[in-house]
Amino acid sequence: MERAKHSVPGLASHQISDDGKPIKDIGTFFSAIKPVILFISIVLVYMLIISMGAYIGHEKLLMVLKEPEGPIETTVASVLGLLAFILGFTFSLTWTRFANRNRMVIAHAKAIGVCYMRAGLITEKQKIQTRKYLYEYAAILLDIQSGYDTERLLARVDELHRQIWKLTESLAAEEIDSELRSLFTSSVNDMISIALERKIVTLFIRVPNAIWRTLLVLAAIGMLAFGYQAGIFGISRLFQLLILPFAFALVIVLISELNSHEPQRRFKVTKRPLREMLEMMERNGQSFDN
């Protein structure tokens, strides 16, 4: 099969709500930015916020408006602790999604393999056509993971589902053992169900905007308070002020990478199960020509 050389924007690059309307997704916006640029931008923005807090605190220090240390330290520690909790929760959410995507690739490849093998239980005509479709199907799934013309290939996947199901329906008119027919039908059902689940998780499930907003606002409050505390206590060392925005930016970039499904990102879903499935089919003499 000739592979497309360029990816095009489409279903894979937008988050869609349940009513079919596109959502302005913060996670997708972050994922569209190169990790290095995103990291530097976050550091600069939150360094500016810390500087504002330090300036306000320093002005109070110059005015000799001494404030009790206890309440300030407690407030800063509480806000930063809450920020750490939300960061940990968000990272756990994105890592679980990424792990589930890998798990579903394995389950999908397994379902395709079972369907391919059980096609040997049905009549010769349906067997040959089904295995041809399944070979193309597995090859297309690999191309989708590589970012080749995603929207067009997703449409072809849906078409292959319909074609394979039509072949399954045609078995009702064939003289074939009902248990064998049931086994094959079950494998087709499983394969299509896993494909739908995988598509939903990959394209439409993201870190909600509400969590992103909470993270960004809470980080701004925490760093403003941290800067204010630094100004009040006369902390002027740049290294001490850089630690917090650097750490926050690193975690945000990591979450953004995990939250993305684009093939260009550092965290990529495994292709090995599908490749091994294609190799198994080829060893069985399968190709696009037969």
Measured CA to CA, the distance from residue 164 to residue 134 in angstroms comes to 8
CB 263 within 8 A of CB 149: no
Digit-coded pLDDT (tens) for 175-232: 888 899 999 999 999 999 999 999 998 888 888 999 999 999 999 999 998 888 888 7
CB 7 within 8 A of CB 147: yes
Q: Does some domain include residue 55?
A: no
Tokens representing 28 are 């997708």
Tokens representing 101 are 């995507």
Q: Does some domain include residue 59?
A: no
Q: Does some domain include residue 42?
A: no
**pTM for the predicted model, two decimal places:** 0.79
Digit-coded pLDDT (tens) for 87-127: 999 999 999 999 999 999 999 999 999 999 999 998 888 99
Q: Does some domain include residue 7?
A: no
Looking at residue 271, the DSSP 8-state letter turns out to be -
Q: Does some domain include residue 20?
A: no
Q: Does some domain include residue 171?
A: yes
Q: Does some domain include residue 36?
A: no
Find the helix or strand (DSSP H, E) in which 22 lies: strand 22-23
Find the helix or strand (DSSP H, E) in which 15 lies: strand 15-16
Q: Does some domain include residue 250?
A: yes
Q: What is the DSSP string of 38-87?
A: HHHHHHHHHHHHHHHHHHHHHHHHHTT----HHHHHHHHHHHHHHHHHHH
Beta bridge partners of 15: 23
* Sequence-ordered list of residues with C-beta below 8 angstroms from that of 232, at least 6 positions apart, any chain: 57, 58, 60, 61, 67, 72
- The angle at the Cα of 97, spanning 140 to 158, to the nearest 5 degrees, equals 30
Digit-coded pLDDT (tens) for 8-27: 333 344 445 555 554 568 88
Number of domains in the chain: 1
Digit-coded pLDDT (tens) for 36-95: 999 999 999 999 999 898 888 877 766 665 555 557 788 888 899 999 999 999 999 999
> What is the sign of the dihedral through the CA atoms of 115, 117, 118 and 119?
positive
Enclosing domain of residue 137: 76-283
